[in-house]
Structure 1
C-alpha cells in the first residue's frame, strides 16, 4: 500500500468510528431493546438518520462539528416552545426568527 492509500484507509476508518461514537452517545443507538431484526434495523436507521440530519444542520449553520452543542440547542428550542405553549403567549414570529438566527451563531467560550 502506498502512503496515500494508508491515509485514506485510516481517515475512512476514523469517520466510521466517530459516526458510531456519536450515535451511541447522542442519538440513542444503544437504547433500543427490540429483538426482531426489522425493529432493530428501524432503530439503527433512525439513529444514524438523526445523526446525519444533525451534521447537515451543523454544516448549513456554520457550527462546529459538535453533537453536544446541537443537542443542547434543540433541547433549549423545545423548552422555549413549551414555555410559550403553556403560557399561551403568541410571540412575534418575525422578531423571534431574527433573534434565533443570531443566537445560533453564539457558542459558549472555553474558560
Structure 2
C-alpha cells in the first residue's frame, strides 16, 4: 500500500514481480479504459478489447457497491493504459446534501479479484506506517547512525524496528489482547525510566524486595509523567 505519489511504473512492477498486489490511488485524470465484454462481430482482424475511455463523471460501466448519506462506492475491473495491465478500480464519491456527487477519489489494486471494501480499508490504513517512522526517529534513533556501508545501515534499522516491535508486543500483552490499545513509545520509555529510578532508590534504602508492590499502589508511581490517552 502506498500513497498516490508512489504509483509509478517502476514501483508497481517491482512489487508485483514479488507476487504481491499493489494498492494505491489514481489521479483524477488517469487514463483508464473499459474492457469489452460483449460478443465479438465476425470480421477480420483482432477482436475488440476495449469499450471506451473511463469518464469519472459518468461511471457507466461501474458497479455500485455501497451507498450512504455522504458516500457512494463504485468498482470495476478496467485497463490501465499507463501500465498496460488490468486493475481493480474503486471510485469513492463524496455526496452533498442534495444527493449530488461533489468530489471523488480513485483507488486501485493490481489484484483484480480483491473486493472494493478491502481496497479501501487497506489504503486508509496506510497512514499507520507513518507512526512507526515517527517513533523510530524520535525515540529509537533510527537516524542517529554514522555507518556508511549498506549492510551496516540495514543492521541498524533492523535493530531499531526490532526494538519497536518488542515494545508494541509488550503493550499488547499489557492490554490483554489489544482491546482499546493506545500505543505510545514515549510513555513506555517514561515508565521504564520510572521503574529504573524506583529500583535505584529502593536499593539504596535496602528495600529492593518491595519493588513489586509499586505495580499495585493506588498512586501508580511507575506511571508518573505518562500522557493521558
Pick the TM interval, shorter chain.
Answer: 0.7 to 0.9
Matched, 1:54 2:161: no
Match of 1:78 among 185, 196, 205: 196
Cα offset, 1:88, TM superposition: 7.2
Which structure has the highest helix share of the two?
A: 1
Which structure has the highest strand share of the two?
A: 2
User: What CA deviation, in whole Å up to 9, does each residue of 1:22-76 have, x standing for no partner?
Assistant: 1111111111111112211111011111111111111111263111111101112
Contact 1:61 1:105 in 2 (8 A): no
Distance, in Å, in 1 between the alignment partners of 2:227 and 2:128 is 26
Cα offset, 1:109, TM superposition: 4.4
* TM-score normalised by structure 1 residue count: 0.75
Contact 1:34 1:40 in 2 (8 A): yes
**1:67 matched to which residue of 2?**
185
**2:208 matched to which residue of 1?**
91
Distance, in Å, in 2 between the alignment partners of 1:42 and 1:108 is 32
Alignment RMSD: 2.7
Greater RCO (CA < 8 Å, at least 6 residues apart): 1
**2:51 matched to which residue of 1?**
none
* TM-score normalised by structure 2 residue count: 0.40
* Ranges of 4+ aligned residues in structure 1 off by more than 4 Å: 104-110
Match of 1:10 among 124, 127, 130: 124
Structure 1: any 5+ residue segments left out of the alignment?
none
Distance, in Å, in 2 between the alignment partners of 1:98 and 1:83 is 14
**1:23 matched to which residue of 2?**
136
Cα offset, 1:10, TM superposition: 2.6
Structure 2: any 5+ residue segments left out of the alignment?
1-88, 91-115, 176-180
Q: Kindly name which structure, 1 or 2, has the bigger radius of gyration based on alpha carbons.
A: 2
